[in-house]
Amino acid sequence: MEGTKIPEVIERHQTALLDDWMKQQLAASTLRSDLLPSAELREQSREFLELLRQASRQAGSTDVAAPAWQPLRDMLTRVSRSRGEQGFSPSETATFVFSFKQPLFSRLAEAYGGDAKGLAWDTWLATAILDQLGLFTTEVHQKAREAVIMRQQQEMLELSTPVVKVWDGVLALPLIGTLDSARTQVVMESLLQRIVETGAEVAIIDITGVATVDTLVAQHLIKTITAARLMGADCIVSGIRPQIAATIVHLGVDLTGVVTKASLADALTHALQRVGVSVNGRPARA
Amino acid sequence: MPALKDEMLPIRADSDIVLVRQAARSWSIDAGFSLVEQTKMVTAASELARNTLVYGGGGTVRLEALEENGRRGLRLTFEDRGPGIPDLELALRDGFSTGTGLGLGLSGSRRLVNEFSIESQRGEGTRVVIARWR
Ligand SMILES: Nc1ncnc2c1ncn2[C@@H]1O[C@H](COP(=O)(O)OP(=O)(O)O)[C@@H](O)[C@H]1O
Ligand SMILES: [Mg+2]
């Protein structure tokens, strides 16, 4: 970065800057001494300052995505993650970075004296850098949260057994949502497993809740139906909506040989008759 | 003809295919497509996105909202820098798959849209363009 005094100002006043910054952070209303002891906050601040000094000396520009900023980004990634786990909000973590502006600006003003243009330029550079770094901590926060949600979804997927035994010998599997291949696999396997466990004769696969049936989903369906048949159970596919039916036909997927019913209610009637239950009227639609 | 709006999405993981389907759905709705038209476009997008990932080793899709003589449309361009397709005619045949699929992704999605074109260079990659009009 050309014409900047940022690295030398940090170098010359490193200890004073740290003291100023700490004083400010400890006095701020956003301080979370309940979550982070001040000794740890001081250590994080010290490390940030040191890495900022190194990066601003080496960096060719204020683009904090550049390699020169890597150690500082790594440090902020660690801090954001651990703060996220400690219960800090994303804006509280970003404030850690933003709050360094004031102490830095004061020292820059001192260094430039009457040179207004020089000061304006460096203030602009410092703002650009600290803003990007603050936003970066927010991104890390978000990613960490997404990872947690993904993990929870995965766990729920494994925990949930969506196969319902609706009658002796009759199983139903309501498929809901996006059938990406991982989920389809898990769900279909759990159906086959339940067929073995219960000795079911009929299994209803209801796809009312499925938005898209592409060739991969169709293939999973066909494979499951074939495997079920080998285990002595017949499958009925219900809930194929008109737009899905039209699409399947255009794709060229062959569903002849697959028993289909418009609604889950129709499929149930059919299934119960199959296992010898006399059905009075049609079951109420949900 | 310039697009009214365009956007590029990465296709690098299974979860990206879900996002491509979601985007194709919402752009189809914006184009005023009927439920059947939306479903066809989304399904074709799902097929081509998966090919891009599985056979092309990942790539991108570009979505473009179109308007021509008062008709609205949607164009999707799938691109990868994978191994390419040595025999296009064969690949477009119903039931042909070098993998474990049904071999209906390319031929089927061609039937689901109004415009379909495919270019592929061995060792350089593959580009599939589809469009649907209201
Ligand atoms: N993007 C691509 N890059 C390389 N090969 C492809 C690509 N897309 C399709 N192919 C080839 O075309 C064949 C047919 O594709 P498709 O009709 O979608 O069937 P499937 O995906 O079931 O194999 C694939 O098996 C593959 O060999
Ligand atoms: Mg395919």
Q: Mean of the pLDDT values across residues B112-128?
A: 97
% of chain B surpassing 90 pLDDT:
90
Contact yes or no for A105/A123 (Cβ under 8 A): yes
Q: Smallest CA–CA separation between B37 and chain A, in Å? A: 8
Q: Which of B35, B46, B108 sits opposite A250 (nearest CB)?
A: B108
Dihedral over Cα of A240, A241, A246, A251: its sign: negative
C-alpha–C-alpha distance, residues B58 and B47, integer Å: 13
| CB-based contact, B97 to chain A, within 8 Å | no
Pocket test residue of B47, B51, B116 for ligand 1, highest count of atoms within 8 A of CB:
B51
User: Which residue, chain included where needed, has tokens 């243009």?
Assistant: A117
- Contact between chains at B43 and A212 (C-beta distance less than 8 A): yes
| Tokens standing for residue A38 | 């001040």
What DSSP character marks residue A69?
A: G
Ligand 1 atom 24: the closest Cα is on which residue? B97
Query: What's residue A76's pLDDT?
Result: 96
Q: What pLDDT, on the 0 to 100 scale, is given for residue A286?
A: 43
Question: Of A181, A247, A252, which is closest to B107 when you measure between CB atoms?
Answer: A252
Could you report the average pLDDT of every consecutive run of 10 residues in chain A (286 residues)?
88 96 88 85 96 92 90 95 86 91 93 87 88 92 80 63 82 77 79 94 90 91 94 94 94 92 88 82 50
Geometric angle at alpha carbon A202, from A200 and A208, rounded to 5°: 125
pLDDT in tens, B38-49: 999 999 999 999
* Residue A29 pLDDT: 78
pLDDT tens, position by position, A6-42: 999 999 999 999 999 999 999 887 788 888 888 999 9
For A88, other C-beta atoms within 10 Å of its C-beta total 22
Residue A279 Cα to ligand 1 midpoint, Å, equals 47
CATH superfamily ID and name for B5-133 = Histidine kinase-like ATPase, C-terminal domain (3.30.565.10)
Tokens for A277?
A: 């239950």
In this prediction, residue B14 carries a pLDDT of: 86
Q: Domains in chain A, ordered, with CATH?
A: 6-155 (1.10.490), 164-274 (3.30.750.24)
Choice from A214, A215, A217 to test ligand 1 binding pocket (greatest atom count within 8 A of CB) = A215
Quick one: pLDDT at residue A221?
Answer: 92
- Amino acid at residue number B58: G
| Mean pLDDT calculated for residue range B86-92 | 97
Nearest to A204 by CA among A240, A247, A177, A178: A240
C-alpha B45/C-alpha B6 separation (Å) is: 16
Q: Taken in order B99, B102, B107, B109, is the CA torsion positive or negative?
A: negative
Q: Which residues of B touch A218 (CB under 8 A)?
A: 102
